[in-house]
Amino acid sequence: MDVDLRKVRYFVAVAEELHFGRAAERLHIAQPVLSRQIRALEEELRAQLFVRDRRSTELTAAGRQLLEDSRPILASADALRRRVALAARGASTFTIGFMPGITVTEPVRALTERHPDLEVELVRTTWDDQTQVLHDGRADVGIVRLPVDPRGLTVRPMFSEPRVAILPASHRLAGKESVDVADLADEHLLNDPDAVPEWRAVATELRTGGGARPRGFRSIEEKLEHVAAGLGIAIVPLSTSEYYTRPDVTHVPVGDLPPGQVALAWVASRRSRLIYEFAELVTA
């Protein structure tokens, strides 16, 4: 039995919205049509995917499994379409994703010197999409900051670098040569605590239950604005703090934090000669 990708897309929309009406609006189809498609998918898979009542829609265990498996499948389908479209146009394009604070100038120049007709495009990524751009075909390779989910990827280490605390310029710890994680225990961390488990283990606000729920930031610039306003501190790689300098914030090394790791990643099933050539350039 072949699973219809259109039905899978419909399922993912409902699973993410947990509301058939909102999912139908998002998909630009009528709600009864969406409901019929989901029922048809359940019949094909011989599994109930949702539990619905008048007040809520919840995923079943089978639905949670399907959601986990569906996202990489749909991303691969999107990537396939993008690459085929480029090939049909005769385009010779190589796209590199990179995280803030990382410069790719030298390997890009080396690649274009070897291939003068190659069009190289650069895409800045975030913690949220640094591997997603690989799976969905927006980038051929990505220079990522670990940890990432390695499933379906080849990940080749590049280098490590210290992590520092970003503080307001007037902060009590500003100007110190180095601090320990324990010195930051009373601060509000703007990172997700799971990303800095050493801080999470000593954080006063987490022990007292008064900590604010971590929020996502769309950019490093947004995070720096919050630090400058005195709304918290952030832990970032040294290269990021040096790249995004401003007079109202400062950085201090955190001596007992393990260094951050930077790696090159690409979809493991890809066999592009350019990918392996670029990998050689960045890891030389």
DSSP secondary structure string for all residues of 73-91: HHHHHHHHHHHHHHHHTT-
Cα separation, 31 vs 259, in Å, equals 50
User: Looking at residue 230, what is its pLDDT?
Assistant: 94
Identify whether the C-beta of residue 93 lies closer than 8 Å to the C-beta of residue 121. yes
Cα separation, 189 vs 182, in Å, equals 13
User: Between β-strands 93-98 and 119-124, what pairing exists: parallel, antiparallel or unpaired?
Assistant: parallel
Crossing angle of helices 31-45 and 20-27, rounded to 10°: 100
Domain boundaries for CATH 1.10.10.10 within the chain = 5-77
Cα separation, 264 vs 92, in Å, equals 21
CATH topology classification for 5-77: Arc Repressor Mutant, subunit A (1.10.10)
User: Looking at residue 81, what is its pLDDT?
Assistant: 79
Identify whether the C-beta of residue 184 lies closer than 8 Å to the C-beta of residue 251. no
Instruction: Give, for 21, the enclosing helix (H) or strand (E).
Output: helix 20-27
User: Looking at residue 4, what is its pLDDT?
Assistant: 86
Q: What is the pTM of this model?
A: 0.69
User: Looking at residue 267, what is its pLDDT?
Assistant: 93
Domain boundaries for CATH 3.40.190.10 within the chain = 92-160+261-283, 163-258
Q: Is 140 exposed, middle or buried (0-12, 13-18, 19+ CB in 10 A)?
A: buried
Identify whether the C-beta of residue 71 lies closer than 8 Å to the C-beta of residue 65. no
User: Looking at residue 122, what is its pLDDT?
Assistant: 94
Tell me the CATH number of domain 92-160+261-283, given options 3.30.1300.10, 3.40.190.10, 3.30.360.10, 3.40.50.170. 3.40.190.10
pLDDT in tens, the chain (284 residues): 577 889 999 999 999 999 999 999 999 999 999 999 999 999 999 999 999 887 889 999 999 999 998 988 888 788 777 777 766 665 578 999 999 889 899 999 999 999 998 889 999 998 888 999 998 888 999 999 998 999 999 999 999 999 999 999 999 999 999 999 999 999 999 988 888 999 989 999 888 765 555 566 778 899 999 999 999 999 999 999 999 989 999 999 999 999 999 999 999 988 889 999 999 999 87
Tokens of 120: 């190289």
Q: What's the distance, Cα to Cα, between the start and end of the chain in Å?
A: 47
Tell me the CATH number for domain 163-258: 3.40.190.10
User: Looking at residue 186, what is its pLDDT?
Assistant: 94
Cα 8 to Cα 75, 122, 133, 253: the distances in Å are: 12, 31, 20, 47
